[in-house]
Amino acid sequence: MQYVNANGATIPALGFGTFELAPADAEAMVAHALGAGYRHIDTAQMYDNEEAVGRGLKAGGVERGDIFLTTKVWTDRFHDGDLQASVRESLARLDTDYVDLLLLHWPNPDVALDETIAALNDVRAQGLARHIGVSNFTTPLIDAAVTHSSAPLVTDQVEYHPFLDQRPVLDRLAHHGMALTAYCPLAQGRVFREPTLERIGRAHGKNGGQVALRWLLQHDDVVAIPRSTRPAHIENNFEVFDFELTEEQ
């Protein structure tokens, strides 16, 4: 495993995402991912599978302190007081005392950002989340969130893969010492049909998905969180630490 260090957080660079996983799949696949070597698990209130993820964490047989756990607050809980209550509800569902990283899932223009960021900081100050950040924030909103936050923000989670240029976001995050967490890193399977990725993969005995993940991990300060409902795919996605892409690739 390799790690990304961002504003005091040490984040496993490859995590397991649970977006759109039904509870039964979330529980089984989280446990399987932990068994395969993953130590970073990502979920969200909006996914409606936090309770199942919590069961999967227990079934995985890995000490809680060795797992980096992320969840996200949905936009309807962004007011001060309501946000903190929602986090306690998430912790109850996850059956844990804290999350390692708590994110604002999307911007919500109907709630003042300074109010939401203050509530996010309060959650961190209470020890309910060790680190805080945002998701799907544009570069101006990243700047605004950093300005309003008394504690460091560690990441912005956005869609990122070889078909989507996120250089402006990467540059802005680097300016603030933040990481980029890439969701949909396999472009919903498109990476497996791309001839260039397949050609590069053949040179390393890898598939296009593994090449795409390796490409992300060779960026500075990028975390990737692929998800799958198939144990073999989960294992394949983890087999990206035994090769490196050349500069040309």
Mean pLDDT (whole number) for 150-164: 98
Asked if pLDDT for residue 145 goes beyond 90, the answer is yes
- Matching residue, tokens 């490859």: 14
- Catalytically active residues are 47
CA distance 163 to 212: 10
The whole-number pLDDT of residue 191 equals 96
Single pTM value for the model: 0.97
CA distance 169 to 153: 14
Mean pLDDT (whole number) for 25-42: 98
% of residues, the chain, pLDDT over 70: 100
The whole-number pLDDT of residue 220 equals 85
Mean pLDDT (whole number) for 98-116: 98
Residue 50: strand, helix, or coil? helix
Alpha helical stretches, state H, the chain: 23-36, 50-59, 82-94, 113-125, 139-148, 167-175, 195-204, 208-217, 231-238
| DSSP H or E segment with residue 196 | helix 195-204
Question: What's the pLDDT tens digit per position in 57-99?
Answer: 999 999 999 999 999 999 999 999 999 999 999 999 999 999 9
